[in-house]
């Protein structure tokens, strides 16, 4: 049946045409590089990848249709619509060709400048990012009780996105990007504002550690995220993520716990009218290209009952690919698309495939030629000011907090060393609670 389906869709000839285009593009790299920017070359790679993935989607959609329309007692019902799971030799050969194209079209990354100045600049940015990440979250840990005021403020008419912790969460997303030297360019923010206070499930493409931060720092609505468990086990940082910002950890190694995490995130939409964010790819792309979509995020959408807002991050992979210790500075784009309203006449899997087609089309659209390049002078000056402010404020504030704690404990006869032991014990207890409740 699968071999017949491939013939009906003319997959062999269509794939051969894309393979020829890719071969021609790769063979002419030297000439292309001389007349184009990195952003333009990667846009061509995404467009070629989209051409190949349209064929992939055609096959999966046709296979899904066969499965869904087969008789209840037909062996076709037991088949998977994921062609990677196929046992048919012809289908597996096609899958191998798709994988080969993805590997060939892996996005170019911005090369590191090995000059002494750039090495020093990298060190300053990394140290400042770490100071803001750990020191900033340590300060906010003591502001977690602000979240308790949200109940009263909601009764007084204060809406989501304007609550105290919402401003802090948005600022952290923006500031962590800015201190890393990232200038966020946005398109389509009106699509998010069109929600008019309504909830959404924002699904963002994921190729870099920057993606979630860029979404949080540029979205007109404040989002609750779901993230891997290990991130929440970082002392203080994980506590703020979960108990301060209301984000949800997910244990990818335990399917049942993962399902429970998704339901908890859906409750943030149903009970509090919040908007939530998740990557439909599940994990970072190693090639920078859009991966297959997981099914979990669509169960989240079903439980939340909110429309999907697609968001595509472009340019971040080139600056901070998986193997690089920290990001290079540069411009990145977040492209917000119109809401996708799930078609109730289609199955969850059919909607998943339809949405992935939308991402591929939007990801292949033209982008600014200077993406992933150094920021302009105004952004550089803003970055320098932010770095100076962080080092002027955060270390002294953290030290003041510790001094106040030590001073308070001195009334109970605790020395500085005793205070350190007490804090260590509290950290161990809170980490234990986080570990066993994730």
- Return the residue matching tokens 């697609």: 310
Q: What is the pLDDT of residue 68?
A: 87
Task: At 384, list the tokens.
Answer: 């320098």
Contact of 79 with 63, CB cutoff 8 Å: yes
Task: At 255, list the tokens.
Answer: 């399917």
**116-380 adopts what CATH topology?**
Glycerol-3-phosphate (1)-acyltransferase (3.40.1130)
List Cβ neighbours of 142 (8 Å cut-off, separation of 6 or more): 401
Query: For residues 18-33, b (16+ Cβ closer than 10 Å) or e, as one string?
Result: bbebbeebeeeeeeee
Burial label for 322, CB within 10 Å (0-12, 13-18, 19+), is middle
Q: Which helix (H) or strand (E) holds 203?
A: strand 201-204
Contact of 189 with 336, CB cutoff 8 Å: yes
Phi first, then psi, for residue 389 (nearest 5°) are -65, -40
- Ranges of residues in the chain with a pLDDT under 50 are none
Report how far Cα 275 is from the mean position of its chain's Cα atoms: 15
C-alpha–C-alpha distance, residues 15 and 102, integer Å: 12
pLDDT digits (tens, 9 = 90+) for 225-246: 988 888 899 999 999 999 999 9
Contact of 144 with 174, CB cutoff 8 Å: no
Domains of the chain, residue spans: 1-105, 116-380, 395-437
Which region, left, alpha or beta, applies to residue 181 given φ > 0 means left and ψ of -120 to 50 means alpha? Answer: left
Residue-by-residue DSSP string for 305-350: T--EEEEEEESHHHHS-TT-SSPPPEEEEEEEPPPB---TTS-HHH
The number of residues making up the chain comes to: 438
C-alpha–C-alpha distance, residues 214 and 360, integer Å: 20
pLDDT digits (tens, 9 = 90+) for 347-405: 999 999 999 999 999 999 999 999 998 878 888 888 899 999 999 999 999 999 989 98
C-alpha–C-alpha distance, residues 371 and 183, integer Å: 10
Task: At 195, list the tokens.
Answer: 């929600």
Starting at the edge strand that comes first in sequence, how are the strands of the sheet with 308-314 ordered?
182-187, 330-336, 308-314, 201-204, 275-278, 223-228, 248-250
Task: At 197, list the tokens.
Answer: 């206070």
What is this structure's pTM? Answer: 0.93
């Amino acid at each position: 049946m699968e071999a017949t389906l491939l013939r009906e869709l003319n997959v062999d000839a269509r794939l051969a045409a894309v393979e020829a285009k890719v071969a021609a593009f790769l063979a002419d790299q030297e000439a292309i590089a001389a007349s184009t920017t990195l952003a333009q070359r990667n846009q061509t790679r995404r467009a070629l990848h989209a051409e190949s993935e349209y064929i992939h989607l055609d096959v999966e959609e046709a296979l899904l249709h066969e499965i869904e329309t087969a008789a209840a007692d037909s062996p076709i019902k037991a088949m998977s619509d994921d062609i990677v799971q196929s046992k048919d030799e012809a289908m597996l050969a096609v899958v191998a060709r798709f994988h080969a194209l993805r590997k060939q079209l892996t996005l170019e990354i911005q090369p590191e400048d090995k000059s002494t100045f750039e090495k020093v600049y990298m060190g300053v940015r990394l140290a400042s990012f770490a100071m803001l990440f750990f020191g900033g979250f340590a300060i906010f840990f003591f502001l977690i009780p602000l979240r308790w005021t949200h109940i009263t403020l909601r009764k007084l008419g204060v809406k989501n996105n304007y609550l105290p912790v919402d401003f802090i969460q948005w600022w952290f997303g923006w500031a962590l990007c800015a201190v890393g030297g990232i200038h966020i360019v946005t398109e389509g923010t009106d699509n998010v504002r069109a929600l008019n206070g309504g909830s959404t499930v924002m699904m963002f493409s994921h190729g870099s550690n920057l993606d979630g931060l860029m979404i949080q720092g540029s979205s007109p609505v404040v989002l609750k995220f779901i993230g891997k468990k290990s991130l929440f086990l970082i002392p203080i940082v994980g506590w703020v993520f979960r108990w301060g910002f209301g984000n949800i950890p997910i244990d990818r190694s335990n399917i049942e716990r993962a399902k429970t995490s998704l339901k908890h995130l859906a409750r943030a939409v149903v009970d509090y009218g919040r908007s939530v964010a998740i990557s439909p790819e599940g994990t970072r792309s190693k090639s920078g290209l859009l991966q297959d979509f997981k099914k979990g995020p669509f169960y989240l959408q079903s439980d939340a009952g909110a429309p999907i807002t697609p968001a595509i991050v472009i340019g971040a992979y080139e600056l901070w690919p998986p193997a690089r210790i920290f990001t290079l500075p540069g411009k990145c784009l977040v492209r917000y698309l119109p809401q996708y309203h799930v078609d109730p006449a289609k199955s969850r899997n059919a909607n998943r495939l339809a949405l992935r087609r939308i991402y591929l089309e939007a990801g292949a659209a033209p982008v600014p030629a200077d993406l992933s390049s150094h920021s302009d002078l105004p952004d550089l000056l803003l970055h320098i000011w932010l770095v100076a402010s962080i080092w002027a404020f955060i270390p002294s504030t953290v030290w003041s907090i510790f001094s106040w704690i030590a001073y308070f404990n001195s009334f109970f006869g605790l020395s500085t060393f005793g205070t350190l032991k007490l804090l260590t014990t509290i950290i161990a207890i809170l980490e234990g609670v986080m570990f066993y409740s994730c």
